[in-house]
Amino acid sequence: MNREWPYLVPGIPDEAFERGSLPMTKREVRALTISVARLAPNLTVWDVGAGTGSLSVEAARFTPGGRVIAVEKSHEGILLIQKNSLRFGVSQIELIHGEAPQALFGLPAPERVLIGGSGGQLEEIFTVCARELVVGGILVATIITPRNLVKILDALSTAPFSEPEGVFIHASRLEKLGKENYFRAQNGVWIISARKEGA
C-alpha cells in the first residue's frame, strides 16, 4: 500500500499529484475514465497524451502485472510522470517521449487505449490506436471540444467497434463562501468508449 493513497479505489485527489504548469484531468473525470476503461490484471494500456501522468498512475494501480505506456510530447510532462510514478509507488509505467500518432508506432499492442490530449490530431491518433488495439480491447477518449466529440462518436460507430457508450459529466465542487458553502462548477467533459469486436 502506498503512503500517499493507501486505498484500493480510483479517484486520487488532484492536489496529491505534482502537476507543474500542465492541465490535469480532474479527479471526478479520472475516476470515471478508469471505471469505463474496465481495467484488469495483466493488461497493456496506452495512455495517449499522458500529461502529468495522473491517469497513467491510476491505470497502473488497476492493471497489476500489466504495462502502462504513457505517451507524452512535452519534456515537462515526462518529468512529471516520473515524479508521480515514484510518489505513488507505481513501477509499471513506461515512458514514450514523443508526439502521437508517430510515437505510437512499434509499441506493443494494447488491450486498452486511453486518449486524453490529442493536439488536434485526433483522427490520425484514432486510426493507429484502433488498428493496434487487440480484438476485445476497449478505447476510451475524454473530450472537451464538440468537434472531437463528433469525430470520436463517428469513429467508434463504425466497424470493428461496438456501439459506443458515452457520458457527459458536469461536476461542481463544494467550496467555502464566507461562513456558507456553494458549488463551484468545473467544465463539462465527455467520456466516450467502445469495444473492438472480433472478426
The residue among 63 and 85 lying less far from its own copies, judged by its C-beta, is: 63
Among 14, 20, 38, 89, binds its own copies (CB under 8 A): 38
Q: Which helix or strand (DSSP H or E) is residue 56 part of?
A: helix 54-61
Strands across the sheet containing 67-72 = 93-97, 67-72, 44-48, 112-115, 138-143, 189-195
Determine, following the binding rule CB under 8 A, whether residue 93 of this chain makes contact with its own copies. Answer: no
Determine, following the binding rule CB under 8 A, whether residue 150 of this chain makes contact with its own copies. Answer: yes
Determine, following the binding rule CB under 8 A, whether residue 109 of this chain makes contact with its own copies. Answer: no
φ/ψ bin of 32: left (φ > 0), alpha (ψ from -120 to 50), beta (otherwise): alpha
Q: In the complex, what is the shortest distance from the CB of residue 60 to its own copies, in angstroms, rounded to a whole number?
A: 11
The residue among 134 and 171 lying less far from its own copies, judged by its C-beta, is: 171
User: What are the cell numbers at 48?
Assistant: 495517449
Kind of pairing, strands 138-143 and 112-115? parallel
Q: Which part of the chain contacts its own copies (CB under 8 A), choosing from 34-42, 77-85, 97-105, 129-137?
A: 34-42
* CB-CB contact of 53 with 95 (8 Å): no
Determine, following the binding rule CB under 8 A, whether residue 79 of this chain makes contact with its own copies. Answer: no
Size of the site for its own copies (CB under 8 A): 55
The residue among 105 and 119 lying less far from its own copies, judged by its C-beta, is: 119
HSE-CB of 127 using CA atoms within 13 angstroms: 5
Q: In the complex, what is the shortest distance from the CB of residue 105 to its own copies, in angstroms, rounded to a whole number?
A: 26
Contacts of 99 (CB under 8 A, 6+ apart): 73, 119
Q: Which part of the chain contacts its own copies (CB under 8 A), choosing from 47-55, 84-92, 100-108, 141-149?
A: 141-149
The residue among 86 and 150 lying less far from its own copies, judged by its C-beta, is: 150
HSE-CB of 165 using CA atoms within 13 angstroms: 13
**Residues in touch with its own copies (CB under 8 A):** 1, 6-11, 27-28, 31-32, 34-41, 62-64, 120, 144-150, 153, 164-174, 177-188, 192
